[in-house]
Amino acid sequence: MNHRTRLFGVALVALAFCAPAVAEDYPSRPVTLIIPFPAGGGVDTIGRVIAAKLTAALGQQVIVENRAGAGSVIGIRAGAKAAPDGYTILMATTGASVPANPGYDIIKDFAPIGLIASIPITVQANPATPVNSLTDIVAMAKKEPGKLTVGTPPPPTLNYLGAELFKSLTGADVTIVTYKGTGPLTNDLVAGHVMLAFNTVPPAISNIQAGKIKAIAVCALARLAALPDVPTAAEAGLPGLDVVLYYGLLAPGGTAPAIVQRLNKELRQIVNSDDVKMRLISDGGGPMPSTPQEYAANIEREEGKWRALVNKLGLKID
């Protein structure tokens, strides 16, 4: 055994003894939670709830940092490049691996912490838009091609991919208008600057309840407890329109397993708590506490599904 090999072996032993100590002392300073979307949108709304609960659970402040741009790519890229020490974590959503060259590998460059919730996309309309069902939308789009405007956040969000899937399934000629996030999209939908939206429920729920937005259909297999009278896409005659986002937390790849497990333990308790479950359900979601391994399997399955759709439709998403 040469001197370098001996030193390497000593270092490995030292790391093995240090890892539990690192986890035991973690966190000793504030933690940053990157949310790769603007403030006020659906991801931000839920992310801030989780940050507040993690602050209490960890005994250190969890600070939200909105790093929006390119449909989440900029924030996710920042998360991938962060030090793998547990002091920067990322709020992620399905679709992150769809762009051709995002500058990260969503599987190789991250350590999954755990799932938070499933959030289906809903088709929404301004009350002045003369549609009350998916059938109405398709009929109007075919009668007046290109006139109907559909707002979504930019690709690679599932909102955008859901709108493209809708066009593919129905042959409807609608014009997709992209927004920086669901917050500004919701504002423009209420104001009538866009006629329809493929939107999440959290930023729109108060306007739906106030009658300022019409909820047309839920793009999932089951109705939402928050919108019990709104049919699923299948009930509305379009069973293939199944568009469900999954929210979760990721750490940079190489983060110590003991730190990931600590974060997962706290996250699962938070998602399982009655008040957070009620908040997620009232915001149109389904609580999904999970292990890191279950979240890893979800990422692989769901990202593969949406990449396959992008390839099938020949979409160019940079």
Which pLDDT tens digit goes with each residue over 183-210? 999 999 999 999 999 999 999 999 999 9
All domains of the chain in start order, with CATH: 29-118+245-313 (3.40.190.150), 122-218 (3.40.190.10)
Q: Look at residue 42 in the predicted model and tell me its pLDDT.
A: 85
For the stretch 243-279, pLDDT in tens is: 999 999 999 999 999 999 999 999 999 999 999 999 9
Give CA–CA dist 259/93, Å, rounded. Answer: 21
Predicted TM-score (pTM) of the model is: 0.86
Mean pLDDT of 108-121: 97
For the stretch 226-236, pLDDT in tens is: 999 999 999 99
Give CA–CA dist 165/79, Å, rounded. Answer: 29
Residue count of the chain, please give it: 318
